């Protein structure tokens, strides 16, 4: 099973969300491919669209799962502006924790991230834990890690599949880690090279997931890999 996780970050308005799904569903309905045996396709929209996207996925009968881009390090209580794990668990199956943009722009430390992991685990969310290298602390309970070198994110200069696979192999020394996925300038034309690399179990495209045509092509190309 390979993971394709689309991270929309802080992009799109409501009309653009609806257009994304209309275009994607049109492509899907031309052949209605069944990728459920070899691909886990997840999109992570901004919090404010999770409800809407869950309805759109249901109405268009799309084999796509939902993920959140972040979660609070607290349970319910006086934490203005936060979205907590138990609320997310009503809408999503996955949550991204520790994305480098959160570490950098919001000062999220390993300690804060481990609190987020505790909350997400308690709510039964599947965690995609992001690290920029193979030296960063990974909480013990984590099974899915995304290796995302900071310089490759949004730069159009991806890490080579060989290097990414080597880093993934080191990350897999963490006893519970079963899947390491790669993120950083993944596009339709390079996705297969990552999926065919020995220790990589999926990809996490940001920019390319914003365009339904590109995200669709990533899925089509991924479905044709032997891996």
Catalytic residues: 99, 148
Question: What is the number of residues in the chain?
Answer: 227
State yes or no: residue 56 binds ligand PGA (CB under 6 A). Answer: no
**Contact with ligand PGA (CB under 6 A): which of 73, 132, 139, 183?**
183
**Contact with ligand PGA (CB under 6 A): which of 67, 206, 212, 218?**
206
Region of 28-36, 71-79, 135-143, 199-207 interacting with ligand PGA (CB under 6 A) = 199-207
Other CB atoms within a 10 A radius of the CB of residue 184 amount to 26
Region of 24-32, 81-89, 200-208, 213-221 interacting with ligand PGA (CB under 6 A) = 200-208
Number of residues counted as binding ligand PGA (CB under 6 A):
13
**Contact with ligand PGA (CB under 6 A): which of 184, 188, 202, 212?**
184
State yes or no: residue 203 binds ligand PGA (CB under 6 A). Answer: no
Closest CA relative to residue 10, chosen from 218, 216, 213, 210:
210
Q: Between 132 and 161, how does the x/- string for binding to ligand PGA read (CB under 6 A)?
A: ----------------x----xx-------
Task: Tell me which residues in 92-121 interact with ligand PGA (CB under 6 A).
Answer: none
State yes or no: residue 193 binds ligand PGA (CB under 6 A). Answer: no
**Contact with ligand PGA (CB under 6 A): which of 84, 144, 171, 186?**
186
State yes or no: residue 204 binds ligand PGA (CB under 6 A). Answer: yes
Handedness of CA 22, 64, 131, 214 (dihedral sign): negative
Distance spanning both ends of the chain, measured CA to CA: 9
Distances in Å between the Cα of 40 and the Cα atoms of 65, 91, 109, 190 are: 8, 17, 29, 18
| Nearer of residues 8 and 28 to ligand PGA, judged by Cβ | 8
Closest CA relative to residue 131, chosen from 159, 156, 157, 155:
159
**Contact with ligand PGA (CB under 6 A): which of 73, 132, 205, 212?**
205
Q: Which residues of the shown chain bind ligand PGA in the complex (CB under 6 A)?
A: 7, 148, 153-154, 183-186, 204-208
């Amino acid at each position: 099973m390979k993971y394709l996780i689309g991270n929309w970050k802080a992009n799109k308005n409501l009309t653009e969300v609806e257009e994304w799904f209309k275009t994607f569903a049109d492509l899907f309905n031309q052949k209605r491919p069944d990728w459920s045996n070899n691909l886990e396709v997840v999109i992570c929209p901004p919090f404010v669209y999770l409800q809407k996207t869950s309805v759109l996925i249901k109405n268009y009968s799309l084999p796509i799962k939902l993920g959140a881009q972040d979660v609070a390090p607290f349970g319910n209580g006086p934490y203005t502006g936060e979205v907590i794990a138990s609320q997310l668990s009503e809408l999503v199956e996955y949550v991204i924790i520790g994305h480098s943009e959160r570490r950098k722009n919001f000062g999220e430390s390993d300690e804060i991230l481990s609190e987020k992991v505790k909350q997400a685990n308690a709510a039964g969310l599947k965690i995609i834990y992001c690290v920029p290298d193979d030296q960063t602390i990974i909480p013990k309970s984590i099974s899915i890690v995304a290796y995302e070198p900071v310089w490759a994110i949004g730069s159009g200069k991806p890490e080579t599949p060989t290097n990414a696979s080597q880093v993934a192999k080191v990350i897999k020394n963490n006893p519970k880690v079963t899947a390491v996925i790669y993120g950083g300038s993944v596009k339709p034309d390079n996705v297969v090279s990552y999926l065919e690399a020995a220790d990589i179990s999926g990809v996490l495209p940001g920019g390319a997931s914003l365009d339904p045509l590109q995200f669709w092509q990533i899925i089509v190309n991924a479905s044709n890999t032997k891996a």
